[in-house]
Structure 1
Amino acid sequence: MRLNHLINILIIPIFISSCGMASIQGMKYNIDEKSNEITELKNYFNEIVPANWIVRIQYNSSTNIDLFVYQPIGDSTKRETLFSQWNVDLDNYKEPPQSKNEKKYGDTTKSLELVENKLNWNRETLSELYNKLERANCIGICNRKPVEIEYGFSGMALLSFSVFDKNLTAEQQEEYSDNCMSMFYKENIVLNYTSGATGNLCTPEFKKNK
């Protein structure tokens, strides 16, 4: 066996390792290797989310999710929060009590069953979505425009990528490369780095002139 072939065999599993050990280089590799699966995931999610709704879902495991659902207000383009919960146990979800503000304004719910009914989802929907994310080697997705797919965590930072419906123009490529938290990668893909609890920190890997 040639040395180069052996090195490739050892390196490939590192790139496609679990999202818990995510890296920007690994995310790039995954986008290239899983392009068909990513397209299938994007199309499926757009199909199952009702028009004018926004849903962000992240799988901590096959039966535990973070779920944020925003429903349209009447016929307007505005939305309100319907459901916002971390660590939702799909097998044993216990509905927490509503806060005073939630009771007063009535625009949010803690009922997972109500949310599933409004979205026309069930456990099979959630299982199929999990499977498609697994095949794409990713952990979450949001159907905002453009669709954002969450690849994994690098320390406290979330690594994700935006998938536009069309390839970006030269002007758009420049617009979405800010030397800090976003970088045009190729065609219709922009990479994102969200530092979260550590504040809005930049990643040196997105610097154009390193």
Structure 2
Amino acid sequence: MKEQNILILTILLFITSCGMKSKQDLTENYDKNKSEIIKLKNYFNEIVPKGFIVSIRYESSDEINLFVYEPIENSEKSELLFQQWNLNLDNYEPKAQTEYEKKYNGKTNSLEILKQKLNWNDETFAELYNKLENVNCIGISNGNSTEIEYGFKGTGVFSYEIFDKNLSKELQEKYSDDCSQMFYKDNIVLKYGSGAIGSFCIPEFKRTK
């Protein structure tokens, strides 16, 4: 048991020591690439059809994690249309879905059907990858705000949450919890998603009074 615990701790230490991005990296990257980051936000919101919510993370230029919700007709709600982890854009062959899989993993697992619904093609995925690479980022999601993933710290991910308008003092306080999110400037909130091993706080987001 002792040896097993040591092995687990060693693995966790290895994981958390890899890709050690920091708050300073996060802010410096935004300040350096602000104009292109905002252009990326606007571009993404233009290519996602109204009512759809798309979350995409590139593991490489041709391997992605992709989750898409589509609006329900005559409703303000949406439903899961498609979700795939480690999807290879160059070599993806969907398997037949069971009714259970359709209910919990998305109405379709066909990339071609998804492209038709989004009006995307192979060039869309390539251009989005290039725009993310250009600002040193790995993923993007839309919704009430746009979240652009910057990079990993251990198993979690630093990101920028970008709103359409500058935040009021009240909203600045709302989005600063001394833990996983912190107002930075204007319409930008810094975020940290803790990943697969539970939720925890980032000391770098602790404000000094």
Q: Fold-level match, TM-score > 0.5?
A: yes
- How far 1:47 moved relative to its partner? 0.5
Query: Could you list the per-position Cα deviations for residues 158-188 of structure 1 after superposition, in whole angstroms to 9, with x for gaps in the alignment?
Result: 1111011111111110000011110001111
- How far 1:138 moved relative to its partner? 0.4
Structure 2 equivalent of residue 3 of structure 1:
none
- How far 1:209 moved relative to its partner? 3.3
- How far 1:123 moved relative to its partner? 0.3
Structure 1 equivalent of residue 40 of structure 2:
41
In 2, the alpha carbon distance for the partners of 1:168 and 1:22 equals: 26
Correspondences of 1:34-183 after superposition (within 5 Å): 34-103=33-102, 108-183=107-182
- How far 1:110 moved relative to its partner? 0.7
- How far 1:103 moved relative to its partner? 4.7
Preserved CA contact (<8 Å) 2:83 2:105? no
- How far 1:102 moved relative to its partner? 3.2
In 1, the alpha carbon distance for the partners of 2:115 and 2:174 equals: 37
The count of corresponding residues between Structure 1 and Structure 2 is 192
Evaluate the alpha carbon distance shift between residue 172 and residue 114 of structure 1 in structure 2; reply closer, same or farther with a 3 A threshold. Answer: same
Where do 5+ consecutive residues of structure 1 fail to align?
1-18
Structure 2 counterpart of 1:26, one-letter code: D
Structure 2 equivalent of residue 206 of structure 1:
205
Query: Could you list the per-position Cα deviations for residues 52-108 of structure 1 after superposition, in whole angstroms to 9, with x for gaps in the alignment?
Result: 110000011111110000000002110000001001100000213324313579951
Structure 2 equivalent of residue 188 of structure 1:
187
* Secondary structure at 1:91 match in 2: coil
TM-score (norm 2): 0.87
Evaluate the alpha carbon distance shift between residue 103 and residue 147 of structure 1 in structure 2; reply closer, same or farther with a 3 A threshold. Answer: closer
Q: Identify which range, 93-102 or 189-198, moves more after superposition.
A: 93-102
* Secondary structure at 1:34 match in 2: helix
Evaluate the alpha carbon distance shift between residue 103 and residue 198 of structure 1 in structure 2; reply closer, same or farther with a 3 A threshold. Answer: closer
Structure 2 counterpart of 1:120, one-letter code: N
* Runs of 4+ deviating beyond 4 Å: 103-107
In 2, the alpha carbon distance for the partners of 1:193 and 1:66 equals: 18
Instruction: Tell me how large the CA RMSD over aligned residues is.
Output: 1.8
Structure 1 counterpart of 2:22, one-letter code: S
Evaluate the alpha carbon distance shift between residue 106 and residue 30 of structure 1 in structure 2; reply closer, same or farther with a 3 A threshold. Answer: closer
In 1, the alpha carbon distance for the partners of 2:95 and 2:204 equals: 41
Where do 5+ consecutive residues of structure 2 fail to align?
1-17
Evaluate the alpha carbon distance shift between residue 192 and residue 73 of structure 1 in structure 2; reply closer, same or farther with a 3 A threshold. Answer: same
- How far 1:20 moved relative to its partner? 4.1
Structure 1 counterpart of 2:184, one-letter code: Y
* Secondary structure at 2:132 match in 1: helix
Structure 1 counterpart of 2:138, one-letter code: I
Preserved CA contact (<8 Å) 2:65 2:85? yes
Structure 2 counterpart of 1:37, one-letter code: E
